[in-house]
Amino acid sequence: MRLLEFQAKRLLSEYGVPIPKSVLAKSQDDLESLSFPVVLKAQVPVGGRGKAGAIRIATQLKEAVATTKELLNYNIKGYPVQAVLAEEQVEIKQELYLAVLIDKLTSLLLIMVSATGGVDIEEVARESPEKIVKKHLRPFVGLQDYIVRYLAKHIRLEDQLEGFRRIVNQVYSIFCDYDATLVEINPLAVTPSGLVVLDAKILLDDKAAYRHKDLFVKLQEEQKRAAKSGKTRAEQLAEERGITYVPLDGNVAIISDGAGTGMLTLDLTQDVGGQAANFCELGGLGGAESMLQALEVVNAAPHVKVILIGLIGGLTRMDEMADGILNYLEQHGKSKPLVIRMCGTKEEVGKARLRTAGIETFEDLETAVRVAVKLAEES
């Protein structure tokens, strides 16, 4: 889960990390509690807000109220702005960068800092990577003070060592305590009163949500209002049922029992001139019920003309998949045309059950893809 800026800052502030005085601007009263000028920031879970004109400065109350209203009408990369964070402006002497993340190539934690943070950090990473100082954290050792001192020296921040040390340790604690996969502070501002976090991106591991139930529920409640607009019925159904479903623009719906074969089927569909309507995979789910539900999800998309089911189960059992398909047809009476490729565990039983219902299956995936695309073209 990607936290909204105000959520990330609240978490940081709970750990003692300095942030500017701020409020979520819901009414004029909220804004009155701040000293001007203030920075008004649209709360959306995507980057590039500054360049989209969604971060603005207001020098007095009236202007702040008007700008807040205006920002609440914005839509940034598909996300309608549902909240605006108002923050007292601070005097920035320098913008630093600080991040803790999981380095997938080494399976170690990585801490990165730079003396040149701010909006152009990606360019810095590309053009002059030597300006980003990196240190891996050794397992079962974690963050030690020598690492903090090393980083401070290499971004010439020794005169601020105390504040820097506190912040790095607090950020590291948040990372570990909440199963984060990324805590990124950018910029970490050098101000006359010390270091202050001006923006933060925190990613929490959804797979560990069960360990932080209360926090996740609260964050999700807050984000619901800021959610991406216009979710389709198919997307809502998939979300309720925990089925992996990515809507696409074409008319051939695809259900697979593995992520890799799902992506392959997508590629093959396009290679023969077809367009996939979605990516949908059952992955570890298995069971007749999940096949039935997947069929309900993909059938809910109006532009679908044909449904291609590609199965090659190891753990997924074909007898259960066949039952799921038959249960769907029984409950709903009909479906858009089905093209089924079935092989793998218990395939004989699965194929026999489908055959009894007059449904033939394909053995070869590429043939099934071609048939499905042709059917979609003809209908």
Rule CB under 8 A: say whether 179 interacts with another protein.
yes
Spatial CA neighbour of 321 closest among 358, 359, 292: 292
Q: What DSSP element (H or E) covers 192?
A: none
Which C-beta is closer to another protein: that of 191 or that of 244?
244
Quote the least distance from Cβ 80 to another protein, whole Å: 18
Which C-beta is closer to another protein: that of 69 or that of 260?
260
| Span of 5-13, 63-71, 206-214, 215-223 interacting with another protein by CB under 8 A | 206-214
Helix (H, G, I), strand (E, B) or coil at 175: helix
- Residues β-bridged to residue 259: none
- List 7, 22, 293, 345, residue binding another protein (CB under 8 A): 345
Rule CB under 8 A: say whether 279 interacts with another protein.
yes
- List 35, 127, 140, 230, residue binding another protein (CB under 8 A): 140
Binding mask 213-252 vs another protein (x if CB under 8 A, - otherwise)?
Answer: -------------------------------x-x-x----
Q: Which tokens belong to 130? A: 């030597």
Looking at residue 131, the DSSP 8-state letter turns out to be G
Contacts of 49 (CB under 8 A, 6+ apart): 41, 42, 55, 76
Quote the least distance from Cβ 358 to another protein, whole Å: 26
Rule CB under 8 A: say whether 127 interacts with another protein.
no
| Span of 25-33, 103-111, 185-193, 319-327 interacting with another protein by CB under 8 A | 103-111
| Span of 100-108, 152-160, 192-200, 327-335 interacting with another protein by CB under 8 A | 100-108
Rule CB under 8 A: say whether 164 interacts with another protein.
no
Spatial CA neighbour of 63 closest among 88, 40, 30, 43: 40
First to last CA, the chain: 40
Q: Which residue has the tokens 């990613």?
A: 203
CB 75 within 8 A of CB 44: no
Looking at residue 119, the DSSP 8-state letter turns out to be T
Q: Which tokens belong to 325? A: 């398909």
HEC-encoded secondary structure of 272-288: CCCCECEEEECCCCCCH
Quote the least distance from Cβ 377 to another protein, whole Å: 18
Binding site for another protein (CB under 8 A): 102, 104-105, 107-109, 139-140, 176, 179, 181, 205, 207-208, 210-211, 244, 246, 248, 256-264, 266-271, 276, 279, 281, 283-284, 312-315, 343-345, 365-366
